[in-house]
Amino acid sequence: MFRLAHISDVHLGPLPPVTYRDLASKRVVGYVNWQRNRRRHMHDSVLETLVADIRAAGPDHLAVTGDLVNLALDGEIEMARLWLETLGSPADVSVVPGNHDAYVPGAFHKACRAWGAWMTGDDGHAPVDRNGFPYLRVRGPVALIGVSTARATAPFMANGFFKEGQAARLGAMLEETGRQGLFRVVMIHHPPLRGAVSPQKRLFGISRFQKTLARHGAELVLHGHSHLPTLGWLGKRGVRIPVVGVAAAGQAPGGRHPASQYNLFEIDGSPDAWRIRLTRRGLSGPALPPADLETVELGVEPEAVRS
């Protein structure tokens, strides 16, 4: 049995010192949002509690699906690198970037350079730009494929982008790992389901992503961005791929979104009969340690969640 943990939307704080020059961009919008909202609800102590529980669970691997930072300041990107070093060995932790990690032009490349060890495929090539995605890591029976949808956007927009070049590379990886009989996990920040987020946060290229998976297959998709513990499905009846979101890892109780959670998957079986058990663990109230919040068997699509 392979055990895979999944977190997203860490939004590490507090913000490092911010200059007027830093705010001469879209960052001024994010800075105001941080001061009015995120600063009160995104807590490092909550994140530390969650990470301690993940360590106690002892998963074989940890997937982090983006938004490690807030404004993609140089100081934040470095702080996230140091945090990743405490999270685990780069061989045991896989990261994909989110829209906040590419908040302004140039930030995406800085994040790739700083966090490259956690985004390096088994071929040894760390992505230095968006053409370096997706990357592939094989751990036991599991193929972890990291897709990037991160891109700098205009103020008040948080869209993701999945274009033709990455779709072709993803299709080739899915095809090859499928031939090898591996359990294929696609990690992506923006949810690849219609209606999952508001229009200004949606994924451009969603049809392209869905067609790629329908053509080449996959066993599981992990995403963040919505800050919600969600379960949806892609594909046609009989060949349905679970698409799983998660609450923001740094979210304190009492906000409008669910408090900090992580997903823990138990993956077993064979290519003809994979078995997937999902347990959501997280905070259910103020000052409470993480606990099991929900357990779902994903081998058979539940009637209640069919789209």
Q: In 3-state terms, what secondary structure has residue 152?
A: coil
Task: In whole angstroms, give the CA distance from residue 96 to residue 6.
Answer: 12
pLDDT digits (tens, 9 = 90+) for 136-150: 999 999 999 999 999
pLDDT at 305: 38
Task: Give tens-digit pLDDT for 226-263.
Answer: 999 999 999 876 678 999 999 999 888 887 889 999 99
For the structural domain made of 2-305, what CATH number should be given?
3.60.21.10
* C-alpha to C-alpha distance for 286 and 126, rounded to whole angstroms: 40
Interacting residues of 23 by C-beta distance below 8 A, sequence separation 6+:
31
Please work out, in degrees rounded to the nearest 5, the angle formed at the alpha carbon of residue 46 by the alpha carbons of 281 and 8.
Answer: 60
pLDDT of residue 126: 86
Helices (H), the chain: 27-33, 39-41, 44-57, 74-87, 107-114, 164-179, 206-216
Does residue 43 contact residue 100 with C-beta atoms inside 8 Å?
A: no
- C-alpha dist (Å) from residue 248 to 5, 11, 12, 33, 266: 14, 8, 11, 16, 21
Asked if the model's pLDDT at residue 133 lies above 50, the reply is: yes
Q: What is the pTM of this model?
A: 0.90
The pLDDT value recorded for residue 19 is 59
- Cα separation, 27 vs 102, whole angstroms: 11
The percentage of residues in the chain with a pLDDT greater than 70, rounded to a whole number, is 86
pLDDT tens digits along 62-85:
999 999 999 989 999 999 999 999
Give the closest residue to 206 by CA, choosing from 127, 149, 144.
149
pLDDT digits 0-9 by tens, 183-223: 999 999 999 999 999 999 999 999 999 999 999 999 999 99
* Plot region of 127 (φ>0 → left; ψ -120 to 50 → alpha; else → beta): beta
pLDDT value at residue 238: 62
Neighbours of 303 (CB within 10 A): 6
